[in-house]
Amino acid sequence: MAEKAHVNEQLQDADSAFQAGDLAVYPAHGVGRIESVESRVINGGQHDFYIMKILDNGMVIMIPTANVKSVGLRCVIKETEVPAIYDVLREQKGDIHDNQTWNRRYKEYMDKLKSGSLFDVAAVFRDLYCLKLTKDLSFGERKLLDTSKTLLLREICTALEEDETDVWKTIEAFFVSNNGNGSSDGSTA
């Protein structure tokens, strides 16, 4: 589908070398800044690493430059791709896996978050947000909802260079109109 084409395009972008100061996305952790590119001797061999600091929590990750593709490190989406992400959020899902147990949904959603695709992250957020409107989420699902919201907001805000509050209002409006009663449940996920 078109979503997979975007993912492949993003992974191809990762083939180009990152430089210190570049913003990049590490799957399941979100947007970070490449602080430096360093060489280290490990097991007797010289290896190059990207030193990346995640913007949201300050976590520092060492990523071997040779493994960029396999770990899913990619460039932040382009501003022109944001409408496609919004389309995923607007998409109505008839059956939100309500017949699955929470732990099966959890595994499926976790795999999507680890994929590194913002389209998958948006789908997880959409499904869990809509499910939350109809039933109580398990602790794990609530945690995934929060994680997907954070990953989604941070990357869209970075792509659009907009404030998180403004982007959240835009996203929340999709669910207010989909909820059918003209109001959200009052929570902020």
Residues 99, 78: Cα–Cα separation, whole Å: 36
pLDDT value, residue 122: 97
For strands 30-42 and 23-26, give the pairing.
antiparallel
CB 82 within 8 A of CB 167: no
- The domain ranges of the chain are 2-75, 79-179
| CATH fold match for the domains 2-75 and 79-179 | no
pLDDT along the chain (189 residues), means of 10: 43 64 95 96 93 95 93 95 96 68 86 94 94 88 95 97 96 76 44
What DSSP string runs through 47-90?
EEEEEEEETTT--EEEEEGGGHHHHT-EEPPPGGGHHHHHHHHH
pTM, 2 dp? 0.82
CATH number of 79-179: 1.20.58.1290
- For 74, list phi and psi in degrees, rounded to 5: -145, 170
For domain 2-75, say whether CATH 3.40.50.1860 is its number.
no
CA distances from 43 to 11, 47, 48, 156 (A): 29, 10, 13, 39
